[in-house]
Structure 1
């Protein structure tokens, strides 16, 4: 267990995490899979795959909110009770609030609705069935919702990794998904507590056998000329987000520049911008998040998301 002080700077970075992720999501919505051709800087145009209003976030933020609301109660995200509540929220959201859902997540949730038992057990069984019957079970739909996981255990990197893998497994059981979610969640936790960006900080939380390939993957993304053909796969989504972060983190406006860079890579633009935004917001804080008005399900604003991020780190702090 690490010791840290919940300073104003840490609170500010926690407030920036969900907020910057949602800004990236909403900014990327119009350009997802070339819904609108990007001409110049990205704009808050709305539209996209869910006919969104300008500034409205999509399923990336909606699913993250399901996790964040549970974390904000102070319950440990590694507990069965927390994961049952998250799973129940996912299932309710898919019927009542979802504006669009990724293909893998949609199929898993639809299957889980037909099953019996506790919510998390139904989801895990459906996710395992999907993985066993599909050759495309490593989508980016779990990586996109890691922002609140990185906030829930600022004092414990092992619990961060455990929660990242287990919550990813509610819908995505492929080990590669778990690995990317562990790396990104730990990078967020590290950034909030230290103000520094280091995606490699979580490598020791993974099995050593995967280190060489993941390091090579991340190094490839650090090339200024990196451009993926698609980024709906969890590995290429992580690459796209990491590329955007690396290209922007030392500039004078890192969050804005990082979100723009993520979107300019094309393909799943709202997701890669949401993933990049979470880490940039965790490092630079609410004060550096571009001043866009964002909103969305379940009737929340950007300010509400910032408050939610701060509530998570307050409610989840260790009580010695």
Structure 2
């Protein structure tokens, strides 16, 4: 089992930007845009040049209604790109590399190939064995809140108090991870904007993110081009939701977000730097 050598991030000192690199034909806003490993590498290099601290590689679409592929197909999409990026940024000079998967076999192979983080949209629900892989590697683990899967999550968006319930479910998922051997220092929470949430649920979560950050775990937020932004702005084109994404990103930082997962790295990296200058230069700590 590979052991993660990811450098520790300085939580609370600034906002980190994670660039989305979807290696899928069917993701909601950029599916099929990087059909070869070489095309994906060029996009990775563009995102790093634009200010990405991390890259999140995904081979399985998690949009509503997406069909699931096999673990072997997911690895065939992700591992060649991971290898190219590692080769293009030698000697630890490149971005941290995260792999977006809920499968234990994919996580294990990705870590062995040089990935630093695992980003699990299921929070360990889909394949609990993944938690043991993460525990053995000692790598950072993004534990996201979700319900159901891509085909059922829209029917599960029922809450009485969404922020409190998301926090409770994240805490229970964290307890399961710890029971599997994961150290709490590895865990990063993601409230799962857009996953089993209505537009109003998502807006409430953004407004109340500080309640989740108060639990003490670093917070990753992924608002990029999401459907709830399109609903508010009456904008059906995902790639035209940049300014809505920037607005949500700024609010998320003000509420304690530590990492922003986005497609449009350059504009959001500038947004984050500006909000950090306002929030953090006054000596305000965003630590929970």
Shorter-chain TM range is 0.3 to 0.5
- Give the structure, 1 or 2, with the largest relative contact order (CA under 8 Å, sep 6 or more): 1
Taking structure 2 as the reference length, the TM-score comes to 0.36
The structure whose residues are more often strand, as a share, is 2
Query: Could you say which structure has the higher helix fraction?
Result: 1
